[in-house]
Amino acid sequence: MIYLLICAASAFFGLSSGLGATTLLRPLMDAISPLDPASVSALCCMATLCAALVSAFFALSEPLPLETDELLLLSVGAMLGGVLGDLASARFIAVMPAQSAVLLQSALLFTLIALPSVYFATLARTLRPLVLTRMFSFPIALVVGLLASFLAFGAEPITLSAYFLLFDAENDESAVAALTVALFSMLGKLIVLLIRMRLQIPNAGVLLWLLPGALIGALLAMIPRFRPRSASSGDALLRLSLFTSMLNVAAAIVH
């Protein structure tokens, strides 16, 4: 039951604030779950994909703000990054002791959440966007997709900050780009994951709680009257994610 609750809450508040369903779920799973890092990674990947599919279903009901060519570049880059990220993650977990793997992944996750937090809080007001050509969306999707797959979270804050900084994109453009990268990076990761595990679903008992949680949280986030009215909800989510990641780093060091 606890898995359903934390997944539903993470998906709801993450999607409501535009920061992704598993920006909070991944550090929470590392903090409370007794499962090994590989299992946590696989479960978070499936929860992210489930929530992203719900978001994509609702997003497709309206005209998309990005051109088809750009969406294709984002999709291909993110899927390729997802494949490479899963291969790198599997190798990393195989050669590293469990505690060391948790420590390094938690530290990297903390860094990747901290950078967008700093950008949105201070740097966005002082740094002038570069306004690059949208052809650079492919390498951005590739790199962000690799990081998202390696850590098994959607990495929406990274895509959002990259689109604002590099392209001077509008909010709706950045949101669709972030959703596209999250969706296809997790799809690429899941394909490789299932092939590597010979189509066996890891920890099916936990997954039966996580997926309904992701579905319920994502559906509630799509209903306007249920969304938080405070504009600071995104900041609160990032701070909670940072705090949880920091606790995971400290716990891994102590052990």
Q: Where are the domains of the chain?
A: 2-254
Span 203-212, mean pLDDT? Answer: 80
Q: How many residues does the chain have?
A: 255
Per-residue pLDDT at 63 exceeds 80: yes
Residue with tokens 């940072």: 242
The amino acid at 247: L
CA 58 from centre of chain: 18
Q: What is the pLDDT of residues 85-97, one digit of tens each?
A: 999 988 888 888 8
Report the chain's C-alpha Rg in angstroms. Answer: 17
Span 39-68, mean pLDDT? Answer: 87
What predicted TM-score, i.e. pTM, was given to this entire model? 0.86
